[in-house]
Amino acid sequence: MRLPLLALLARGPAHGYELKQDLEQLLGSAYPQPNVGQIYVTLGRLEKSGLIEGEDVEQSSRPNKKVYHLTEAGREALSVWFEETEDEPRVRDEFFMKLAVASQTGLADRIALINRQRRQYLNTMRNLSKLAAAENRDNRIAQLLIEGAMLHLQADLDWLERCQEELE
């Protein structure tokens, strides 16, 4: 959440609730909705680390609000973030650990684990399909997020097939 908030502040000053709304609008309903409390905690941490600065702004009929803006250090952190690639493979997969140790424990059948996980992935794909149909077609970012999640799920389903073939 830290760096996406910085990126949103690169557009200009904003307060926490605006940032929450911006994230929701940008990512759509498929992405877990950010908790406004967590956003404010993260903004506090970013301010302590010098990546943003906050300024209290008076409001006539409401309590003051704190508006944040990006510092030069924040811009540099964003530049580094945008330059980095994500190269970690998913080798620390919780399901795979269950599958690997199932036969050692005698507490679970590996094929039953695969079938249960397959059902879960298929249910998740159905739910994502419903979200894709309900999502605003103009929100290409949200559509790409859903499409990427579904492609990952399809790859996971293919991998489960491979595991089952190998273990039967």
Residue 104 CA to residue 106 CA, distance in Å, equals: 6
Domain with 59 in it: 2-83
88 lies in a domain?
no
Question: Is 128 in contact with 150 (CB distance < 8 Å)?
Answer: yes
Question: Is there a single domain that holds both residue 124 and residue 156?
Answer: yes
Residue 59 CA to residue 42 CA, distance in Å, equals: 23
Question: Is there a single domain that holds both residue 117 and residue 149?
Answer: yes
pTM score, whole prediction: 0.74
Q: Letter for the amino acid at 145?
A: L
Question: Is there a single domain that holds both residue 78 and residue 122?
Answer: no
pLDDT tens digit sequence for 31-78: 888 888 999 999 999 999 999 999 998 888 888 889 999 999 999 999
89 lies in a domain?
no
Run of H or E including 152: helix 140-167
Residue 66 CA to residue 47 CA, distance in Å, equals: 12
Question: Is there a single domain that holds both residue 106 and residue 144?
Answer: yes
Of 83, 110, 139, the position where a domain reaches its end is 83
Question: Is there a single domain that holds both residue 35 and residue 106?
Answer: no
pLDDT tens digit sequence for 70-92: 999 999 999 999 988 877 777 77
Question: Is there a single domain that holds both residue 34 and residue 98?
Answer: no
